[in-house]
């Protein structure tokens, strides 16, 4: 079975103390993950060391960065490099979240650079893709996400693409309370897998985890994760509530 992942994205929320308590409460549930399951906490930069320490003794629990800079090093005040993340033993980094694309104007080319730097430092990118409401309403969402994959990932080798986690974000369903139906989620995830297969073959495509990232909640996670091509979720708001995220972890296939 492909790796199944419950990934929390705290975004710019919680104080250090609140984040520490949230992790304590989630880990207190003592959910024993199976070999093919992972739980990942994408936390703000100041909490990375604390999070890594909290999960250090837990099997298949990891800390992730929410972002990295697209240059290796240099005079970029306030930015955080992949090398810095690697020096903290961080295993994952979210790349290209819709908020980064929209608010910070990150392009597919910039994201390709971030992916390259992550892989060079043995950090697995959680690569986000997805369409806004206008694109969905125009019926061009498949072409849109195909271009995102082609321009940011398709320079990679087959071996490298196996080290990527993809997160599909229907932007129209993030923070709006709207959620894609299970049929819509499965349809897009199957399309993404077919796009990867067209470049790298079905055997490789069937090894790449594709997460759903649009308003995953405790009461819809099991249904969403039951879709054949949905391999878990990248969870925003619900990951800030211990009871909700615990239920989401338990919903993994």
Q: Which residues are catalytic?
A: 97, 169
DSSP 89: T
| Sign of torsion over alpha carbons 176, 177, 181, 186 | positive
The CA distance from 132 to 176, in Å, is 12
Helix/strand/coil (H/E/C) assignment for every residue in 57-86: CCCCEEEEECCCCCCCCCCCCCCCCHHHHH
* Cβ atoms of residues 83 and 123 within 8 Å: no
Classify 13 as helix, strand or coil: coil
| Sign of torsion over alpha carbons 16, 20, 21, 26 | positive
The CA distance from 80 to 152, in Å, is 20
């Amino acid at each position: 079975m492909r790796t199944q992942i419950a990934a929390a994205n705290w975004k710019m929320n919680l104080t250090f103390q609140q984040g520490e308590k949230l992790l304590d409460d989630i880990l207190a549930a003592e959910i024993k993950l199976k070999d093919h399951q992972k739980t990942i906490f994408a936390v703000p930069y100041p909490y990375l060391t604390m999070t890594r320490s909290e999960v250090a003794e837990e099997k298949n629990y990891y800390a992730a960065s929410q972002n990295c800079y697209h240059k290796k090093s240099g005079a970029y005040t306030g930015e955080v490099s992949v090398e810095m993340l690697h020096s903290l033993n961080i295993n994952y980094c979210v790349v290209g979240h819709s908020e980064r694309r929209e608010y910070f104007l990150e392009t597919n080319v910039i994201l390709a650079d971030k992916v390259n730097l992550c892989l060079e430092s043995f950090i697995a990118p959680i690569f986000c893709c997805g369409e806004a409401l206008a694109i969905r309403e125009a019926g061009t969402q498949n072409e849109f996400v195909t271009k995102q994959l082609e321009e940011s990932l398709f320079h990679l080798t087959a071996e490298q693409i196996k080290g990527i986690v993809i997160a599909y974000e229907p932007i129209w369903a993030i923070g709006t309370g709207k959620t894609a139906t299970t049929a819509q989620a499965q349809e897009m995830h199957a399309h993404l897998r077919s796009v990867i297969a067209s470049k790298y073959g079905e055997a490789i495509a069937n090894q790449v985890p594709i997460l759903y990232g649009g308003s995953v909640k405790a009461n819809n996670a099991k249904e969403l994760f039951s879709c054949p091509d949905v391999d878990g979720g990248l969870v925003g708001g619900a990951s800030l509530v211990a009871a909700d995220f615990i239920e989401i972890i338990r919903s993994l296939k």
